[in-house]
Structure 1
């Protein structure tokens, strides 16, 4: 009873929430460091290869099935390709040209894509506050990209598009999983897709990238281990534990908080001064996205 009481303690849940915000906020600098001396396909693949044995062990301990139900094989393929394989390659590719702080800001658009796909796939209603939040958020994001010069540089802009595509794919799979992933255990949901994605990415790297493991720096190896063990495994377990203990709406504010963590850490590691203009636009953008989290009848109640 003592352990159960501890796990339900509000201070423990708050601590876990802050840990997830910090872990997801530092993921972006981890990707940035990993691709300094590792090619993007290999970096994404090694991250998952490192995480896979730990997830297998956890899945066995939890007595959860490793394999997907036969009727859900199409969902397994979609999840493997469009949630893990392609998006994480795109993120590794994008961070070769975009700062880790801005990458996190771009990826924080994922819940917005979820709202749009919810309308298309689940026929959910889009509320007035969501339209306001989406409009404000994306206008600020476009202004940030223009002011930071990412629309002028072709390679930098290519990195931005890659990151936004990764966010779009995640947004789609978050919504589609509500429809196709019902009843699938959370450990089953992640374990085998991560393992298969890791193998696919490493095989593609062997075919299309020139790799020299002797040139991989210690910093890149440490970043890959951090991404594999702490971000992919630890962050995943903590997030899904919180999903059972907290409101999904409150939990979704992680996507508003982690960019702040990432931008702060990015400015320190990459020795980049954050302008007042960038801070103001980022704040307005994240507030815009936060508005989309308000209840649909919020404005009606406050008339």
Structure 2
């Protein structure tokens, strides 16, 4: 591959993890306006997994995995997708997409604390600064009267926090788990098992199921975007970048995604952006930067 073509691919891959992943909050917000949250997530990941397996077979990639790897993909799928993404989509019924993205951007803070608790990992001075700034940013974000007083806002914030706990623990789990070596196959099995569990949750909650032909046009487009671009294109780009550039550069998506989500939420969904939210974003993302400084920690984003 020529250097110029490789450069173009890297630029396109960064565009995918910056803009596409940043837009998934808006797309989920649009889709959940008509579809039940767990049904929505189930359709997204089941269809995406089938497409991934078809692509893998067309590329002659083996789909065979061991029993232990299958069990581990089930656990990862449950944490990342059934609980993590499922709870996030439920939360979007109550809170703005930009607000959700900002709160989720503090995930590295939660991971750091969990690694200290479960793995006994020492926290460096720069990370301590990041933790303090992160807590200040979160406080500024969630303490706004115009947000707290809205119906369902507190429930939405709690759900986002719970989904962050699931993602954070899943990130630690996959770091040591025996999973399929091929990222494409690994993703496919996680989406398949997570999607099946989302179906079970949806059925247990008696969510109404429907066919795409009765969905509103904007919901159809949103679901298509979540499946093709959010679940397949962006994650493929993410894995490509992990091989071609340093993990620290890939992790910059943590800072860009919430900004993209805020802009799209304001521009397309008419969501309000307050001055305090802007200040909170600056403080929170600065804290995340300090936490990630000189760390080779790869942020897992499969749940987006």
Q: 1:148 to 1:224 in 2, by over 3 A?
A: farther
Gaps of 5+ in 1: 297-303
Q: How does 1:99-118 map to 2 (within 5 A)?
A: 99-118=96-115
CA distance in 2: counterparts of 1:35 and 1:251, whole angstroms: 29
Q: 1:49 to 1:290 in 2, by over 3 A?
A: same
Q: Residue 179 in 1 paired to residue 168 in 2?
A: no
**Alignment partner, residue 301 of structure 1:** none
CA distance in 2: counterparts of 1:74 and 1:121, whole angstroms: 21
Gaps of 5+ in 2: 296-304
**Structure 1 length normalisation: TM-score?**
0.88
Q: What's the CA shift string for 1:184-223, capped at 9, x where partnerless?
A: 3212221022122223322432342342637632211211
SS in 1 for 2:61: coil
Q: Residue 143 in 1 paired to residue 140 in 2?
A: yes
- What is the total number of aligned residue pairs between the two structures? 293
Q: CA deviation at 1:110?
A: 1.8
Q: How does 1:80-95 map to 2 (within 5 A)?
A: 80-95=77-92
**Alignment partner, residue 269 of structure 1:** 268
Q: CA deviation at 1:83?
A: 1.2
Q: Residue 220 in 1 paired to residue 219 in 2?
A: yes
Moved over 6 A (4+): none
Say what the alpha-carbon RMSD is for the aligned residues. 2.2
Q: CA deviation at 1:129?
A: 0.9
Q: How does 1:207-246 map to 2 (within 5 A)?
A: 207-211=204-208, 213=210, 216-246=215-245
CA distance in 1: counterparts of 2:80 and 2:226, whole angstroms: 16
Of the structure 1 ranges 172-181 and 252-261, higher mean CA displacement relative to structure 2 is found in 172-181
Q: What's the CA shift string for 1:246-277, capped at 9, x where partnerless?
A: 11122111011110000001011221342223
Does the 8 Å contact 1:150/1:160 carry over to 2? no
**Structure 2 length normalisation: TM-score?**
0.88
Does the 8 Å contact 1:30/1:227 carry over to 2? yes
Does the 8 Å contact 1:140/1:281 carry over to 2? yes
Q: Residue 253 in 1 paired to residue 252 in 2?
A: yes
